[in-house]
Amino acid sequence: MYQYDNFDRQFVQERVEHYRAQTQRYLDGKLSEEEFLQLRLRNGLYVQRLAPMLRVAVPYGTLSSQQLHKLAEIARRYDRGYGHLSTRQNVQFNWPELEEVPDILEALASVDMHAIQTSGNCIRNVTTDEFAGAARDETIDPRPYCELIRQWSTNHPEFDWLPRKFKIAVTGAAEDRAAIAVHDIGIRVYRDDSGTPSFDIYAGGGLGRTPVIGAAICTGLPVKHLLTYLESCMRVYNRYGRRDNKYKARIKILVRAMSPEGFREKVEADWVHVKDGPGTVTDEEIQRLESAFTEPPFESLEEATDNLQNQRVAHPGFSRWLAQNVGLHKQSGYAVVTLSTKVTGIPPGDVSDEQMDVVADWADEYSFGELRISHEQNFVLPHVPQASLFELWERAEAAGLGAANKGLLTDMICCPGGDYCSLANAKSIPVAEAIQRKFDDYDFLHDLGDLDINISGCMNACGHHHVGHIGILGVDKKGDEFYQISLGGHSGHSGTTASLGQIVGPSFAREEVPEIIDRIIGVYLDNRVETVNGEAESFLDCFKRTGIEPYKERVYANADKR
């Protein structure tokens, strides 16, 4: 993991003091609501429906056990004993006092953390593959370059007051778990023929009101040019992005208006002036960051195949968890473990202070002190010896983190929605819960296979509903909460690029949603065929083959009886 040096520490400390002084000026009546809003947003503080919400940055989703213990302590001391894992790999606290936020930031700084640029119209926390540095399908660990971008974008003098928020995602694996196609800028990193890290840059992707897949604007960019190229992209966006209408202010609208070629030309015209300038990344800096993410001291272990097989036979629950939540590690004898937060009755992504503490302990015991937060709002222990999996599973079960549902229907992505968020059209958490209650039979869920249900409480799409296999969006119908359902979206899984879901038709009342999901699943089960390798066709493949018509038919059949 990256360790702060003296410079990082001093900067974050000065940021805390700067924000403390701003808060004091607000409390003294010297800053208006609107002025302070802009300043507090750049420090992750929203004012939600019920209370302020503080979003803590977890850079590219990587945390140390010590940092997670600190988050647990903050949850106890300043919140109501829980925190929320967000869909952008961050951690949110829903009940801090505005006056106490500088103290929380001070506590975060003590473990090299902050809440800088986790909201506001600026470059947000860069996200990546939650299995970075561990996954077997990875060509290069993207985190050194994420850290490079994090530092460059922090408190940037020119790009902290953009037309709109700006999200960058990076991936370095075959399967794009970072969903780079639906980010303002998506970056794919790989090694070129000479072994140097190279980058493909995509611009103008995004979800929200006008979902768009990003366009490739640069390929094969050598690492030393990464920051100057991004600088030029940001400058073109900062100068020409729309500011008259916040719904048309994201970079995707600009790229569409200019056309991807037009945008690229503008960027290149700017870049010739900064390319090879002082912003060019030095070899020493690349080495420094790459060496911060070297492999942990793995032991040479055998694949524990036989042993695991025996444990599976004896414990069907373990067997399901292993099949569903444990992934291949690039180091033999190790595994990547997802600890699911998706338990019926608990809002997706919510974790208690005790859970944070035990997960931090497990990270120390089983995973070299390191853990991750996934955009599916789960914890990940990236480097677990296979011989410890059974023990870990038993402990996870006891702590309410052992659900064997990663990627299954009940592993829903869900934004905070109307229960917390002042922008919401509708609640999302009760919808997730009602669906979890309807589908609580593990065997049935496993038979269904991978199925992403993503729920957003409004067009802002924090729950990524456009890229859910089944997407659920809260809409307002004459003051009542309704839900629009879309089908066939995905964020770039299994080696394919992302695609956006198609809307089935008129929206539904909240109590109808579980039944509608049931009908959709019925259509899938009736239509799915066996694939060449004898497995059941996935929901997505089946949907692509049949199209939306059979779903429409069943979902709206005898609508009057619903």
Partner 1 sequence: MPTLIKGKEGQWNCNPDTEEVDWTNVDTFDAGKPLMLKCDDEPDAGMTAASLIGVEFPAFNDGRALSLAVLLRTRFGFSGDLRAIGEVHEDILHYMVRCGFTSFQLSPDRNPETALGVLTPYSGCYQGSVVDPDPAFRRLSRGSVNS
Site string for ligand SF4, 463-482 (x = CB under 6 A): x-------------------
Q: Which is nearer to ligand SF4, 165 or 248 (CB)?
A: 165
3-class SS of residue 171: strand
d(CA 312, CA 561): 46
Residue located via tokens 């033999």: 332
Residues 8-47 that bind ligand SF4 (CB under 6 A): none
The two beta strands, 370-373 and 379-385, are: antiparallel
- Distance from the Cα of residue 318 to its chain's centroid: 27
Cβ–Cβ under 8 Å, residues 409 and 442: no
3-class SS of residue 190: strand
Q: Of the listed pieces 290-298, 335-343, 420-428, 504-512, which binds ligand SF4 according to CB under 6 A?
A: 420-428
Q: Does 43 bind partner 1 (CB under 8 A)?
A: no
* Side-chain half-sphere exposure of 429, counting CA atoms within 13 A: 14
Q: Does 423 bind ligand SF4 (CB under 6 A)?
A: yes
Q: Does 151 bind partner 1 (CB under 8 A)?
A: yes
Q: Which does 423 bind (CB under 5 to 8 A by kind): partner 1, ligand SF4, none?
A: ligand SF4
Q: Does 29 bind partner 1 (CB under 8 A)?
A: no
**Binding test (CB under 8 A) with partner 1, winner from 33, 193, 284, 549:** 284
Q: Does 444 bind partner 1 (CB under 8 A)?
A: no
3-class SS of residue 376: coil
Q: Of the listed pieces 116-124, 153-161, 461-469, 503-511, which binds ligand SF4 according to CB under 6 A?
A: 461-469
Cβ–Cβ under 8 Å, residues 146 and 103: no
Tokens at residue 134, please?
């561990």
Q: Which does 29 bind (CB under 5 to 8 A by kind): ligand SF4, partner 1, none?
A: none
Cβ–Cβ under 8 Å, residues 549 and 478: no
Q: Of the listed pieces 49-57, 173-181, 414-422, 510-518, which binds ligand SF4 according to CB under 6 A?
A: 414-422
**Binding test (CB under 6 A) with ligand SF4, winner from 416, 471, 492, 501:** 416
Q: Does 162 bind partner 1 (CB under 8 A)?
A: yes
Instruction: Write down the least CB distance from residue 373 to ligand SF4, Å.
Output: 17
For residue 129, which of 448, 375, 484, 494 has the smallest C-alpha distance? 375
Q: Does 179 bind ligand SF4 (CB under 6 A)?
A: no
The site that binds partner 1 (CB under 8 A) totals a number of residues, namely 44
Q: Does 348 bind ligand SF4 (CB under 6 A)?
A: no
**Binding test (CB under 6 A) with ligand SF4, winner from 456, 486, 497, 499:** 456
For residue 180, which of 301, 60, 80 has the smallest C-alpha distance? 60
Q: Does 322 bind ligand SF4 (CB under 6 A)?
A: no
Tokens at residue 199, please?
């980058």
For residue 58, which of 416, 358, 373, 336 has the smallest C-alpha distance? 373
d(CA 322, CA 384): 12
Cβ–Cβ under 8 Å, residues 293 and 144: yes
Q: Which does 159 bind (CB under 5 to 8 A by kind): partner 1, ligand SF4, none?
A: partner 1
Q: Which is nearer to partner 1, 22 or 386 (CB)?
A: 22
Name the DSSP letter for residue 489: -
Cβ atoms within 10 A of the Cβ of 313, count? 10
Q: Does 460 bind ligand SF4 (CB under 6 A)?
A: yes
d(CA 434, CA 378): 20
Instruction: Write down the least CB distance from residue 420 to ligand SF4, Å.
Output: 8
Site string for partner 1, 362-401 (x = CB under 8 A): ----------------------------------------
**Binding test (CB under 8 A) with partner 1, winner from 209, 273, 544, 545:** 273
Sheet holding 326-328, edge to edge: 62-64, 370-373, 379-385, 334-339, 326-328
Cβ–Cβ under 8 Å, residues 293 and 255: no
Cβ atoms within 10 A of the Cβ of 66, count? 14
Q: Where are the alpha helices (DSSP H) in 293-423?
A: 305-314, 316-325, 353-366, 389-398
Q: Which is nearer to partner 1, 287 or 309 (CB)?
A: 287
Q: Does 415 bind ligand SF4 (CB under 6 A)?
A: yes
Tokens at residue 489, please?
């979206």
In terms of residues, how long is the chain? 562
Q: Does 282 bind partner 1 (CB under 8 A)?
A: yes
Q: Of the listed pieces 157-165, 381-389, 443-451, 486-494, which binds partner 1 according to CB under 8 A?
A: 157-165
Instruction: Write down the least CB distance from residue 37 to partner 1, Å.
Output: 9
Cβ–Cβ under 8 Å, residues 350 and 394: no
Name the site residues for ligand SF4 (rule: CB under 6 A).
415-417, 421, 423-424, 456-458, 460-463
Name the site residues for partner 1 (rule: CB under 8 A).
3-7, 10-11, 14-15, 17-18, 21-22, 25, 30, 35, 38-39, 121, 151-152, 154-162, 227, 235, 238-239, 243, 273, 277-279, 281-282, 284-285, 288
